[in-house]
Structure 1
Amino acid sequence: MTEQFPGAVLDLLDAAGDRTVFEYRGREVSGRHLLGMTRRVAAALRQRGVGPGHAVALLLGVGPEALAAVVAAYTVGARVVGVRPGLTDHQRAALLRDAGVDVTVTDRPGEAGPADAGTAERNVLSLDGLLAASDDGRRPRVSARPRDVARLIHTSGSTGVPKACAQTYGAMTAAWTLRPEDWPPAVRELAGRMDRFLVFGTLASQVMLEYGLLTLAAGGVLVAADPPDLPGALARHRATASVITVGRLNRLVTALRSAPADLGDLRALMVSGSPLEPDRAREAAQVLGPVVFHGYGQTETGMISMATPADPPGSLGVPPVDLEVRGPSGRPVPAGTEGEIFVRTPSQGCGYWGRPELGGEVFVDGWVRTRDLGSLDAQGRLWLSGRTRDVVIVDANVYYTGPVERLLARHPSVAEAHVVAVPDDATGEAVHAFVVPAPGRVPVLDELRALVAARLGEACAPTRLTLIDEVPLTAAGKPDKRRLTRST
């Protein structure tokens, strides 16, 4: 029987031996050393009774100790909850409470006090303290069970409380990331360029961890940027690869046009999180060369498809997973015809933690309904054309427009509010609010921004405001957001 995740990660670290697998603040950390740290953290967690059925929140940075803590939490078979930066206190407290967190492991003690969780009983464990455990030198025992939930991946906090997609250990074990023999062609090409992968933010994130593990499987080195300034960090660390949002890519291209930097080692930038406009892709290629890979996936699915630098700008390459473009009848449509995208991936989620009613809308008969619109061309390449749901993707995070609209409508100067996504050079997409003023009132953008930022977070706050007399309607009498978007 195949050992469950993260058994393959432990094998990679063991096989690396004295080879450097991580560089951080001038330190070179070998596979043997990283495996030893993983053993100590896993042993310390077990001593505290943490194992299958327990939830461990991770509030971590990007050092090698952080990676050891992530792998250790999976090794003991816990339900892992990565806490991403940027959440409001309200959102973080709700996330920890609703995920049923038993302990929090952190290398940032000042950011993980009991007040953040809304309860004084929460058990906060210092990563330094866990690393002080004894090391017996034996390979850690993997306690994961296939049907146990391995991690909760939070989609966004736009509803006030982040929604958590659950992924089992069986799904994480089935993922292609750690199995070179199963790499799709685009991933194989990408892996060949990941000699030195620049990591930043937090290794507890879905995207950063998976690309980091791909780097280890490809025999590369993780190099941590602290701080993650671009293009400086790419040049300082001689990075051959990194992951980047559309907004960061736009800022990088702009910076390089005004002040060129030596990025001669760079061979791959993986753009993910939101659509990359064809013109922006061409501009990036002109400035950076043939290094841009454009990935398409969702929290619920993992990677669905990836375009290489050789693919036409705007396309997402040939999907290596089961994918159907379905029409209104629910049946697949011919190539070139727009429809809704349904997929099946080896590592897809199994539902939403604590909210089974939402899972039925997305996880349908073994398929995942992406709620994205697109088509396949005659060569099998995937092209996106829109969405069936009202969302804005800001810096690779999905935010639903409904909560923003309802909050704006509470403002005394607003009679009606409708929100659409608009392209934004800084964040990929941003919130544009169309507002019908209340009688005798004139809404002010700064006031509306402050209202939304205080409750839903800065990413949900409108960056643009358009006052309208009335909202255009579709033939069915619903607000016509396509017309609003075309007017931006």
Structure 2
Amino acid sequence: MVFPAPLLALLSEEPHRPVFEHGSRVVTRAELLAMIGGMAGTLDAQGLRGKAVAFRTSVTPEAFAAQMAAHVLGCRVVGVRPGYSKAQLAHVLAMDVDHVVDDATLPEVGDATCPTPLGRPGDVAMLAFTSGSTGRPKGCALTYGALDRHWAWQPGVWSPVAREMAAGFERYLLFGTLASMVVFEFLGLAVLGGGTVVIPVEPEFPRVYRDLRITGSIFTVPRLTQIIDTGTELPDMRAMMVGGSPISASRLEQAVKLLGPVVYQGYGATEAGSISMLTPRELPAKADTVGRPHPMVRVRAHEGELLVSSPYLMSGYWNGEENPVADGWLRTGDLGHVDDEGYIHIVGRAREAVMVNAMVVYLGPIERALESHPDVEEAYVVGAPDRATGEAAHAFVVAKDPDIGELKGHVQEELGADHVPATITVIDEVPLAASGKPDKKALLALIVL
């Protein structure tokens, strides 16, 4: 079925069933379908069929409908993340964008028709942007052909695990940005699974999960940490997907102990979407892995780096940067391996490394070593120039009254002298970037040399 045909087919069934709950307002399937059809007509009248349309909107049912309307017309949807600098925003909007939509310029809902998707398999359906943590955001081009086989947006090929998670998304909390690949995927799972997507007006975390009787959502690691540290029980929660950055096995075990068998862990990349999933049944036994790949996804290691192949990989970067996809395999930049049972193990990032006395030292293993110490709850490591060694690693830990010398000795024992951080700083909580991931640039600014 041509994307977004599965969504349109679902919205044609049980027309009075709620699909969005935005504050006190409820949007039914029939109303959402009418919005998509009416907005598609308006965009078409503006001459935007098959054009590139950038969206700078907040999270609302209307914004979602507008993006789906653009997809119906075979447009290239350019998702603009909030929080961009002026230079980053200019860079994104310079990617052959024909029209920009924001909250004030959402297309009007014209006469509703039953829309027929016009996208062709080779056309680019969307540009999803990397977080920009290494510089300018990169636009990952995903075709309509890729979305036609996407694991989350094609319920006809859902695995048992996907169906189980979708069932848990009966009341799915939506926050963040519609420009996020992670939000895009799991929003599809929630809607196509028949759930109600709940958009809070002024969310207060973590109370919002209890106040709105949320049964499923995606969680960043810092948000999960907040729930664990406050001992917040979530009696209605049935499917909690944790992802966005690495999480220690001990933290996963704490989450399971507090919340029960509802925790999933996901591994993915903007270039590849969701790659693998660790299910509640596999915790805590497999907490040191990121699960096994989705059906149709293949993962292998080459010279220590994980490579991924799937029908819904990006075709390349729109801005012409070097394409990490070759012969159908994406170089993830993650270091790891796949064990005999098919579980993926990640030990660090190939590009997150420093040269210490001309030796390559990867930062991920240092984080894992520190987190394996009983006094450390979380660890983050950044690299910086060093007069004596060329570069050096600097660690930040969430811990209570740790012995810094003991932590350094622990790292040396685990990894060797070259991996011992030049400094270890205790912090109360990790700063977050606009993407919701740990802000390592902010941590770098804390280093006192």
Q: What is the TM-score when the length of structure 2 is the normalising length?
A: 0.79
Matched, 1:462 2:443: yes
What is the percentage of aligned positions where both structures have the same residue?
A: 40
Letter in 2 for 1:307: L
Aligned to 1:45: 43
Correspondence 1:32-431 to 2 at 5 A: 32-52=30-50, 54-97=51-94, 99-107=95-103, 109=104, 126-127=105-106, 130-131=107-108, 133-135=109-111, 137-255=112-230, 257=231, 260-261=232-233, 263-311=234-282, 312-319=286-293, 320-328=295-303, 339-356=304-321, 358-359=322-323, 362-390=324-352, 420=363, 422=367, 430=380
Distance 2:52 2:379 in 1: 33
After TM superposition, the structure 1 stretch with the greater mean CA deviation from structure 2, 153-162 or 187-196, is 153-162
- TM-superposed CA distance for 1:157, in Å, is 2.1
**Aligned residue pairs: how many?**
385
Alpha carbons of 1:429 and 1:72: their partners in 2 closer, same or farther (altered >3 Å)?
Answer: farther
Q: Find the aligned partners of 1:428 and 1:156 in 2 and give their Cα distance.
A: 22
Please tell me whether the aligned partners of residues 128 and 179 of structure 2 are also in contact (alpha carbons under 8 angstroms).
no
**Cα distance 1:63–1:366, how it changes in 2: closer, same or farther (>3 A)?**
same
Contact 1:281 1:314 (8 Å CA) reproduced: no
Kindly state the Cα deviation for residue 55 of structure 1 after the two structures are TM-superposed: 1.1
CA distance in 2, matches of 1:203, 1:36: 20
Residue 410 of structure 1: aligned partner: none
CA contact (8 A) 1:186 1:307 kept: no
- Structure 1 window deviating more from structure 2 (381-390 vs 342-351): it is 381-390
CA–CA distance in structure 2, aligned partners of residues 20 and 43 of structure 1: 24
Cα distance in structure 2, aligned partners of 1:435 and 1:25: 49
Alpha-carbon distance in structure 2 between the residues aligned to 1:250 and 1:93: 35
What is the rounded CA distance, in whole Å, between the counterparts of 1:459 and 1:432 in structure 2?
Answer: 7
* Distance in 2 of aligned mates of 1:189 and 1:181: 14
CA–CA separation in structure 1 for the residues paired with 2:54 and 2:118? 18
The 2-side partners of 1:290 and 1:250 are apart by 17
Distance 1:371 1:94 in 2: 24
Query: Contact (CA 8 Å) 1:433, 1:466: kept in 2 or not?
Result: no
1:17 is matched with 15
Aligned-pair CA distance for 1:324: 4.0
Q: 1:270 to 1:281 in 2, by over 3 A?
A: same
Structure 2 CA distance for aligned equivalents of residues 386 and 210 of structure 1: 25
C-alpha distance in 2, partners of 1:16/1:428?
Answer: 46
CA contact (8 A) 1:154 1:164 kept: yes
Long gaps (5+) in structure 1: 110-125, 329-338, 392-400, 403-417, 439-452, 468-488
Cα distance per residue 1:88-134 (max 9 Å; x no partner) = 1221121111x121111111x4xxxxxxxxxxxxxxxx11xx22x42
CA distance in 2 between partners of 1:420 and 1:176 (Å): 32
Asked if the contact 2:38–2:113 (Cα under 8 Å) also holds between the matched residues in 1, the reply is: no
1:215 and 1:458 mapped to 2: Cα distance?
29
1:268 is displaced (CA, Å) by 1.2
The offset of 1:6, in angstroms, is 1.0
Q: Give the alignment's TM-score, normalised by structure 1.
A: 0.73
Q: Distance between the aligned counterparts of 1:171 and 1:378, measured in 2?
A: 29
**Partner SS for 1:141:** coil
Whole-Å separation in 2 of the counterparts to 1:429 and 1:37: 46
Q: CA RMSD for the aligned pairs?
A: 2.8
Q: Which runs of 5+ in 2 are unaligned?
A: 356-360, 372-376, 389-432
Code of the aligned partner of 1:436:
D
Cα 1:327/1:354, change in 2 over 3 Å: closer
Q: Which residue is equivalent to 1:407? A: none
User: What is the DSSP-based 3-state SS (H/G/I as helix, E as strand, rest coil) of the residue aligned with 2:148?
Assistant: helix
Moved more, 20-29 or 84-93: 84-93
Q: Could you list the per-position Cα deviations for residues 355-390 of structure 1 after superposition, in whole angstroms to 9, with x for gaps in the alignment? A: 15x11xx11111112122222233222221222222
**Are residues 381 and 458 of structure 1, via their aligned partners in 2, closer, same or farther at CA, if it must alter by over 3 Å?**
closer
The separation in 1 between residues aligned to 2:378 and 2:335, in whole angstroms, is 18
User: Which amino acid letter does the alignment assign opposite residue 62 of structure 1?
Assistant: V
CA contact (8 A) 2:52 2:77 kept: yes
> SS of the counterpart of 1:300?
coil
Displacement of 1:264: 1.2
Distance 1:252 1:430 in 2: 20
Is the 8 Å Cα contact of residues 182 and 274 (structure 2) preserved in structure 1?
A: no
What stretches of structure 1 move > 6 A for 4+ residues in a row?
none
Cα displacement string for residues 449-483 of structure 1 (whole angstroms, at most 9, x for unaligned residues)? xxxx9xxx96623354264xxxxxxxxxxxxxxxx
Contact 1:318 1:382 (C-alpha < 8 Å) held by counterparts: yes
Structure 1 pair 158/202, CA: closer, same or farther in 2 (3 Å)? Answer: closer
Amino acid of the residue matched to residue 465 of structure 1? I
Which sits farther off after the overlay, 371-380 or 195-204?
A: 371-380
Which whole-Å CA distance do the structure 1 matches of 2:96 and 2:381 have between them? 32
Distance 2:92 2:278 in 1: 34
